Structure 1
Amino acid sequence: MTNRRRIGVLTSGGDCAGLNAVLRAVVQRAVEGYGWHVVGIHKGTAGLLSRPVEAETLDLSRFQGELLRRAGTILGTTNKGNPFNFPLPDGRRLDRSEEIVEGFRELEIEGLIGIGGDGSLAILSRLCEKADLPLIGIPKTIDNDVAGTEVAIGYATAVGVATDALDHLQPTAASHDRIMVLEVMGRDAGHIALAAGIAGGADIILVPEIPYSLDNLKRKIDELRRRDRNFALVVVAEAVRTEEGEAVTASPGAAKARYGGIGHYIGQKLAEATGAEVRVTVLGHVQRGGTPVPRDRLMASIFGVHAVDLLAAGKRDRMVAWSGRTVTDLALVDVVDQPHRVDPQGALVHAARGLGICLGDR
C-alpha cells in the first residue's frame, strides 16, 4: 500500500482514556513516516451515515501536545445503531450498510484504522469487507475483554481510577467501622474489579467468572473481626449476579441490558448478615474519563504506529495486539466474538487467593 496516500481513522464504541493518544500516533506516523493524508471520521459509523460524511483532515497542527493527555476522543464516538440492523423511530430495523460503503467512497480513503472493542471491530470488519477496504483494528476498552491481546487502550487508566477510589474509601471505612462496597464497570468481565481489588487492598472481590455465596462473604467478615479489623473493603464487578443467578440491571426489559445495582444488593445482604454499617459507592463512568495514565499513553503510541505500518505493508483485516512484551497483530476473524474473561485459574486469581482475598467461592 506504499502508493496509497489517504487513510481514514475513527473511534467506535464506548469512550475511554487514551483514544486521543492513539489518534496522535496514527497521524504522526502516517504524515511524517509516509507522507499520507489522514481523515478523521466523526462519531464512528454514525458520521459515515451523515451526508455529507462528518469528517475532518487530521494533520500535525491538531496534535500540539495537550491531546496526548486528554481523555475521551476528539472525533466523538457511538455505541448505538448497528448499520446492518439499524433501529428506526417507528421500531423497524433497516440494513444501512450500503450507506456506510458510500460514505467510504465519498471520503476517497484507501484504508481504515478502527479503534474499538470486539463488538465495534466485528461491525467494522463486515463493513470494510463489503467496501473492499483494508482495515486495521486497534483494541480499546476499559473492560480489557478483547481476545488476543494482553491489554487494551483505556484499561490501565480505569484500574487506576478504581484503585484510587479504594485508597480514598479505606480511611473513612476505618474511621467509622464500616464495610465499604465499591461497584466497578467491566461489562461481562471482571478484569477491572480483580486488578483494582488486588492493588487497592480489598478484602473481598466478586467477579462474574467466579460463583459466590453470601455465607462465604459473611465468613470473611467474621474472620476480619476476629483479627480486630473494624472495617472491610469489597469490590464488585457490575456484571456479578445475585446469589440466585439473577442479573441486576438499570434497564430491565431493554434490548441490551445496562448493568447497575449489584453493589447495593451486596451491600444490603452484608448488612443483614453481619449487622455492620455498610456504604456503597458506584464509580460508573468516572472510570472512562480519567486522564490517561502513562501505560495507556505508551500502548496507544505503540498501537497507533504499528497500525499505520501494517497498512503500509499491504495488510488488511488485522488487529494490533500486545503479547509477550511486544507488539504483534492477528487476524480479526480470530478476535471478534471471542471475549476474553477472567481466568479462574490465572495468575491474578492465584495472587488474590495467596493474599487472603475472598473471591466468594470458598
Structure 2
Amino acid sequence: MTAGKRIGILTSGGDCAGLNAVIRAVVHRAVLTYGWQVLGIKEGTQGLLQRPVQYQVLDLPQVDGNMMRMGGTILGTTNRGDPFAYPMADGTQKDRSDEIIGGYRELGLDALIGIGGDGSFAILKKLADKGGFQMVGIPKTIDNDLGLTEVSVGYDTAVGVAVEALDRLQPTAASHARVMVLEVMGRDAGHIALAAGIAGGADVVLIPEIAYSIEKIAQKIKQVRSTGRNFALVVVSEAVKTVDGTGVQKLFQGGQKRYGGIGDYIGEKIAEATGAETRVTVLGHVQRGSMPSPRDRLVASAFGVHAVDLIAEGKFDRMVAWSDRGVIDVPITEAIAKYACVELDGAMVKTARGLGISLGD
C-alpha cells in the first residue's frame, strides 16, 4: 500500500482498558510511518450501518499521550446486533450485512483493523469474506480466552482491579472475622479469578473449569480457622455454576441474559456449612472501566503498530498475538477456533495448589 491510502479502525464487543492505547498506536504508525489516513468508525459495526456512516478522522493531535491513560474507547463499541441476523423492532431478524459492506465501501477504505474477541472476529471475518475487503484483527478481552495469544488487551488491568479489591477486603474481613466472597468477571474461563486469587492471597478460588463441592470449601475455611486466623478470602468467577450444574444469570432489558449472582449463592452456602458470617462483593464492570495498567498500554501499543505493518505488507485475515515476549501474527480463523480456557495442568493451577489455595475439588 502506498501513501494516500486510508484505513478504518473499530472496537467491537465489550469494552476494556487499553483500547484507546491501541487506537493511538495505529494512528501514530499509520500517519508517521506510511502517511496514511485513519478513520475511526463509531460504535463498532453499528457505525457502518448508519447513513451517513458514523466515523471520525483520527489525526495526531487527537491521540496524544493522555489518550493511553483513558479507559474505555473513544470510538464507542457494541456487543449485540449480529448483522447477519439483526434484531428488528418488530421482533424479526434481518440480514443487514450488505449495508455494513456498503458503509465500508462508502468510506473508501483500503483495509480495516478490528479490535475484538472471538465473537467479534467471527462476524468481521464473515463480513470481510462476503464484501471482499481486507481485515486485520487485534485481540482484546478481559477474559483472556482467545486462542493463539498469551495475552489480550484488557486482561492485565482487570486482574489488577480484582487484586486491589482483595487488598481492600482483607483488612475489613479481619476486623469483623468474616468470610469475604469476591465475584469477578469471566464469561467462560477462570483466568481472572485464578490470577487474582493467587496475587491477592485468596484461600479459595472457584473457576468454571474445575468442579467444586461446598464440603471442600467448608473444609478449607475450617482449616484456616484452625491456624488461628479469623477470616478467609474467596474468589469466584461469574461463570461458575451451582452444585447442581445450573448457571446463575440475570435478565436485562431487551431479553439479554448475563452471568451474575453466583457470589451470593456461594456466600450463602459457606454460611450454612461453616456458620461463618459472610459478605459478598461483585466487581462487575468495575473491571472494565479502569485506567489501563502499564502492561496493557505496552501490549496495546505493540499490537497497534504490528497491525498497521501487516497492512503495509499486504498480510490480511491475520490476528496479532503475543508470544514468547514478542508480537507475532496468526490466521484469524485459527485463533477463534482455539478456545483458551484455564489449563488444569498449567502453571497457574499448579501454583495455586502449591500455595495451599483450595480450588473446591
Alignment match, 1:50 = 50
Alignment match, 2:269 = 269
2:109 is the counterpart of 1:109: yes
- Following superposition, the deviation at residue 65 of structure 1 comes to 1.9
Alignment match, 1:225 = 225
Partners of 2:222 and 2:37 lie apart in 1 by 63
- Following superposition, the deviation at residue 257 of structure 1 comes to 3.2
Residue type at the aligned position of 1:160:
G
Alignment match, 1:328 = 328
Partners of 1:269 and 1:254 lie apart in 2 by 32
- Following superposition, the deviation at residue 305 of structure 1 comes to 0.1
Alignment match, 1:67 = 67
Aligned length: 361
Describe the shift of the 1:15–1:204 C-alpha distance in structure 2 as closer, same or farther (beyond 3 A): same
1:57 is paired with a residue of what secondary structure? strand
Residues 78-93 of structure 1: matches in 2 within 5 Å? Answer: 78-93=78-93
* TM score, norm. by length of structure 1: 0.98
Alignment match, 1:94 = 94
Residues 212-291 of structure 1: matches in 2 within 5 Å? Answer: 212-251=212-251, 257-291=257-291
Partners of 2:254 and 2:57 lie apart in 1 by 38
Residue type at the aligned position of 2:299:
M
Partners of 2:204 and 2:54 lie apart in 1 by 47
Partners of 1:3 and 1:92 lie apart in 2 by 44
2:29 is paired with a residue of what secondary structure? helix
Contact 2:9 2:39 in 1 (8 A): yes
Partners of 2:273 and 2:105 lie apart in 1 by 62
2:181 is the counterpart of 1:190: no
After superposition, the C-alpha distances for 1:174-232 in whole angstroms (9 at most, x for unaligned) are: 01000000000011110000000000000000000000001100110111111111000
- Following superposition, the deviation at residue 339 of structure 1 comes to 2.2
Partners of 1:279 and 1:295 lie apart in 2 by 32
Partners of 1:145 and 1:64 lie apart in 2 by 30
After superposition, the C-alpha distances for 1:276-310 in whole angstroms (9 at most, x for unaligned) are: 00000000100000000000000000000000000
Q: What residue ranges of structure 1 are gaps of 5+ in the alignment?
A: none
Residue type at the aligned position of 1:133:
F
- Following superposition, the deviation at residue 321 of structure 1 comes to 0.1
- Following superposition, the deviation at residue 256 of structure 1 comes to 5.3
Residues 156-175 of structure 1: matches in 2 within 5 Å? Answer: 156-175=156-175
1:77 is paired with a residue of what secondary structure? coil
- Following superposition, the deviation at residue 132 of structure 1 comes to 1.2
Partners of 2:283 and 2:133 lie apart in 1 by 39
2:143 is the counterpart of 1:143: yes
1:250 is paired with a residue of what secondary structure? strand
- Following superposition, the deviation at residue 64 of structure 1 comes to 2.1
2:329 is paired with a residue of what secondary structure? strand
Partners of 2:69 and 2:121 lie apart in 1 by 25
- Following superposition, the deviation at residue 337 of structure 1 comes to 4.2
2:236 is paired with a residue of what secondary structure? strand
Contact 2:3 2:34 in 1 (8 A): no
1:233 is paired with a residue of what secondary structure? strand
Contact 1:303 1:320 in 2 (8 A): yes
Describe the shift of the 1:341–1:4 C-alpha distance in structure 2 as closer, same or farther (beyond 3 A): farther
- Following superposition, the deviation at residue 90 of structure 1 comes to 1.2
- Following superposition, the deviation at residue 251 of structure 1 comes to 1.8
- Following superposition, the deviation at residue 312 of structure 1 comes to 0.2
After superposition, the C-alpha distances for 1:25-55 in whole angstroms (9 at most, x for unaligned) are: 0000000010000000000000100000000
Contact 1:119 1:337 in 2 (8 A): no
2:39 is paired with a residue of what secondary structure? strand
1:115 is paired with a residue of what secondary structure? strand
After superposition, the C-alpha distances for 1:106-152 in whole angstroms (9 at most, x for unaligned) are: 10000000000110011011111112111000000111111110000
Contact 1:236 1:263 in 2 (8 A): yes
Residue type at the aligned position of 1:234:
V
Partners of 1:248 and 1:234 lie apart in 2 by 18
Contact 1:238 1:262 in 2 (8 A): yes
2:181 is the counterpart of 1:181: yes
1:335 is paired with a residue of what secondary structure? helix
Contact 2:8 2:113 in 1 (8 A): yes
Contact 2:159 2:192 in 1 (8 A): yes
Contact 2:31 2:37 in 1 (8 A): yes
1:258 is paired with a residue of what secondary structure? strand
Contact 2:318 2:330 in 1 (8 A): yes
* TM score, norm. by length of structure 2: 0.98
- Following superposition, the deviation at residue 252 of structure 1 comes to 8.7
Residue type at the aligned position of 1:309:
D
Contact 2:3 2:36 in 1 (8 A): no
Partners of 1:80 and 1:337 lie apart in 2 by 21
Moved over 4 A (4+): 252-256
Partners of 2:315 and 2:321 lie apart in 1 by 14
Residue type at the aligned position of 2:178:
R
Residue type at the aligned position of 2:335:
V
Bigger mean CA deviation after superposition, 337-346 or 16-25: 337-346
Alignment match, 1:7 = 7
After superposition, the C-alpha distances for 1:315-346 in whole angstroms (9 at most, x for unaligned) are: 11000000111100000110124321111111
What is the root-mean-square deviation of aligned Cα atoms in Å? Answer: 1.3
